[in-house]
Structure 1
Amino acid sequence: MSGAQPWGFTDDRGTEPGAARVPERVVAYVRAGAALLDLGVRPVAVYGSGHDGPGYDPAKAGGLEAAGVPYLGPGRALDEGVLRELRPDLVVDVTYDGKSPYALDEAVADRLGVPLVALSVGNELTLPEILGRFGALGASLRAGAPVTGDPSAAGPSAGPSAGPSAGSAVGPAGVAEAEAVLRGVAGRTGLAVLALSGAGPDQVHLARPQAWPELARLAALGVRLLDPGPGPGANWLTADWGRVAELGPDLILFDNRFHAVPPYETPPGTRLAAWNPETPPSPAAYARFFRELAEALAA
């Protein structure tokens, strides 16, 4: 990649940052950075969210740590001097509301004079659309072609120029294959699945399936996801562990991020499978998740 071509990209806030050449020094939110690495774009550094600590969360790191990509700590507490020394020419974050970057104050990028791209991971887009948006961004950073972003177009598999992480050669076809496997297993077993995030011995957050693009995708593939029922909370219903027993899941998808806690109480015979609500939005990461869930359902 020569970097001599002008570059542009329209993000999911409608912002249209551009540059005289293709950005080569990308700093990203860890979820976005792990996806970009899978897509063949190696960030120079990544940062976390307010849930993250001073070191990598293994559930969220993807291939970043193994690839030697530095982690700078939570985005809202970034040392701007350290960030300036990295000489970034693009910041990539995610957005849940289509208005603001999630993990970094946009004023930081403004002070550095660096464009910021924020891609949606909320439920206003389907999972295939989200994967397509990240694929389009990755393609623009590899090839330098100005992209306005067609959310229906999934990006190509990782190119050789940026050192993709292990498994990054998985493209849309690999996701389709994994989905076909999962669809078949879900149809045969018919097991009831509950997604949750543990908050302690007396509290648990139960996911509302249609509020999460990947859970909505699982439902579309025939996975029988349990809804926690009425109550406050758009994404989660907060309850006690007794509610889990009342719902009677056959399999629990538990949040395996560092800040969540393992399930305290599960109905006898209930299976467990890990779920990262911040899975990197790349074909490789989701193909792996779908296959792991298929294995858990079939066990």
Structure 2
Amino acid sequence: MTDRSTWSFADDRGRPAAADRRPSRVLAYIQAGATLWDHGICPEGIFGSGHDGAEPDRAKTGALPLDAVDYRGAGDGLDVETLLRGAPDLVVAVSYGHGQLYGLDTETAKYLEERVPVVVIDVGQARTLDQVSRRFAELAQSLGGAREPDATSGLDAARRRLRAVAGTRPEGLRVVALSPADQEQAYIARPQMWPELRVLAELGVRLVSPPDGAGVNWATVGWADAAALEPDIVLTDVRAHAVPLVEIAAPAWQETGRRARTVPWNPEPLCSPQAHARFLGLVADAVEGAAGD
């Protein structure tokens, strides 16, 4: 909510962030910053998580103009002074539930909130992707971002296309989402725990779950067990800390006689209509190609 002299926004913890005027220098977690850019808001700075390094992960930055956005770093390199060096007047963070600011330790988050208004958007598995996207859109609008009707219509079209192509194979193509760990193991995603994967299932994509066992979001398996899931399409984690799938020497699904197609997947997706439409388009391309094999 805004007027001429004040600004406020209730975040997903139920806490209001408020300022005497609408913030214009936003510091954001990298996923949030890239999402806000798609909604017409350019953050002045971004920061990463413990998975990130000294340079921003290009799988997470989307269309952000990195020459104009200051990357503050990630992990142990983050402290309050580093985060505040650009004099931000708002911090936008994400949470995977319980309100904890992802990527920041508890003490750093506490001191940060004492210095500057903080908005936390919950991107955890309890939310649908539409809910998360709507919250980012509401925040961006409060900050002066403009609605883009074309982006919404493009997402609707991408959903219709994927539903149509998924329906061309009544038995469904087998789709596995994973993050390569090393030459021996892979992390197989449990589809019901990932909002963007649940959208694929709702549109008719047959996502294969790993066996029950340890791991809430991922099951850690050997590559032979991953190949035994017999994927037709593999959604592979392309974040910088994941091993590129092309570098995995063993085993290849081809050894089982299958020619699995691969689709780049960012498990920390940009929550904008444009970004989601692009991802659905890539999946639709793979489904069309695999269905024609």
1:56 aligns with 2:56: yes
Question: For residue 212 of structure 2, what is the aligned residue in structure 1?
Answer: 230
Partners in 1 of 2:185 and 2:234 — Cα distance? 16
Following superposition, the deviation at residue 170 of structure 1 comes to 4.6
Which residue identity is paired with 2:10? T
Distance in 2 separating the partners of 1:170 and 1:252: 30
Give the counterpart letter for 1:53 in structure 2: G
Q: CA RMSD in A?
A: 1.8
- Count of aligned residue pairs for this structure pair: 275
Question: Distance between the aligned counterparts of 1:134 and 1:156, measured in 2?
Answer: 11
Q: Is the 8 A contact 2:52 2:75 kept in 1?
A: no
Q: Aligned residue for 2:184?
A: 202
Partner of 2:155: 175
Quick one: distance in 2 between partners of 1:82 and 1:207?
A: 34
Quote the residue 1:20 is aligned against.
Answer: 20
**What is the aligned partner in structure 1 of residue 33 from structure 2?**
33
1:98-113 paired onto structure 2 within 5 Å: 98-104=98-104, 105-111=108-114, 113=115
Counterpart-to-counterpart distance in 2, 1:61 and 1:23: 22
SS of residue paired to 1:200: coil
Match of 1:284 in 2: 274
Point out where structure 2 has 5 or more consecutive residues left out of the alignment.
Answer: none
Q: CA deviation at 1:176?
A: 1.2
Alpha-carbon distance in structure 1 between the residues aligned to 2:80 and 2:218: 34
Q: Quick one: which amino acid aligns to residue 200 of structure 2? A: L
1:87 partnered with 2:73: no
Give the whole-Å Cα distance in 2 for the aligned partners of 1:59 and 1:140: 27
Q: Measure the CA separation in 1 of the matches of 2:203 and 2:143.
A: 32
Tell me, yes or no, if the aligned pair for 2:47 and 2:71 is still in contact at 8 Å: yes
Q: Deviations over 1:199-221 (max 9, x none)?
A: 00111100000100000111001
Q: Which runs of 5+ in 1 are unaligned?
A: 144-154, 158-168
Which residue is 2:168 aligned to? Answer: 188
Matched, 1:270 2:260: yes
State the alpha-carbon separation in 1 of the partners of residues 150 and 70 from structure 2.
24
Quick one: distance in 2 between partners of 1:82 and 1:219? 41
The offset of 1:75, in angstroms, is 5.3
Matched, 1:249 2:231: yes
The 8 Å contact of residues 244 and 266 in structure 1, kept in 2 or not, is answered as no
Distance change (3 Å), C-alpha of 1:100 and 1:237: same
User: How far 1:188 moved relative to its partner?
Assistant: 1.1
Q: 4+ residue stretches of structure 1 with deviation over 4 A?
A: none
Percent identity among equivalent residues? 44
Contact 2:44 2:68 in 1 (8 A): no
Post-superposition offset of 1:78: 2.0
Q: Per-residue deviation at 1:293?
A: 1.1
Give the corresponding residue for 2:132.
130
Pick closer, same or farther for the CA change 1:98–1:281 going to 2, 3 Å. farther
What's the offset of the Cα at 1:68? Answer: 2.3
Residues 187, 218 of structure 2: 8 Å contact kept: yes
- Deviations, residues 224-270 of structure 1 (Å, cap 9, x unaligned): 00010211111001111111111111010000000001232331111
Q: Residue 32 of structure 1 contacts residue 92 of structure 1 at CA under 8 Å; is this kept in 2?
A: yes
Distance 2:101 2:288 in 1: 39
Inter-partner Cα distance in structure 1 for 2:165 and 2:49? 35
1:219 to 197, 201, 217: 201
Aligned AA (1:237): A
Residue by residue over 1:42-93, the C-alpha shift from the partner in whole angstroms, topping out at 9 and shown as x without a partner, is 0001011100000011111111245621211105522533433311110001
Partner secondary structure for residue 130 of structure 2: helix
* Counterpart position of 1:152: none
Q: Which amino acid aligns with 1:141?
A: L
